[in-house]
């Protein structure tokens, strides 16, 4: 039942994987600031603003509700790789990329 409102045009290149697409990863652009509204199990409405890497995670999971998987959102087809290739050749650089995001926005 959640809804997402995009609060900025600023995006982050998130290298994503998913249990629905085992052992694969690729780059997806995600908005860095979103407002999320949802109802909890007791029917209480909640609204919050989510920023940084947490906003990327919310968008990834929200996509599942519409049957969208990360390959449908890939922005650079050359970024597709196996988990093994990511770990060996790309993980260290991506960790630095995320570290800079966390410094700016927090989790």
Residues β-bridged to residue 48: 36
Among residues 61, 88, 96, 100, the one annotated as catalytic is 61
Is residue 41 classed as helix, strand or coil in its secondary structure? coil
Q: What is the dihedral of CA 18, 107, 97, 61, to 10 degrees?
A: 20
Is 61 designated active site? yes
Residues β-bridged to residue 36: 4, 48
Q: Are 9 and 29 in contact (CB under 8 A)?
A: no
- Catalytic residue annotation: 61
């Amino acid at each position: 039942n959640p809804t997402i409102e995009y609060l900025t045009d600023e995006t982050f290149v998130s290298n994503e994987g998913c249990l629905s697409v085992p052992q694969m990863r690729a780059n997806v652009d995600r908005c860095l600031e979103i407002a999320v509204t949802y109802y909890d199990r007791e029917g209480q409405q909640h609204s919050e603003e989510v920023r940084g890497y947490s906003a990327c995670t919310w968008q990834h999971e929200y996509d599942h509700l519409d049957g969208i998987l990360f390959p449908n959102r890939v922005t650079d087809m050359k970024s597709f790789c196996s988990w093994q290739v990511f770990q060996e050749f790309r993980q260290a650089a991506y960790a630095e990329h995320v570290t800079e995001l966390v410094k700016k926005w927090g989790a």
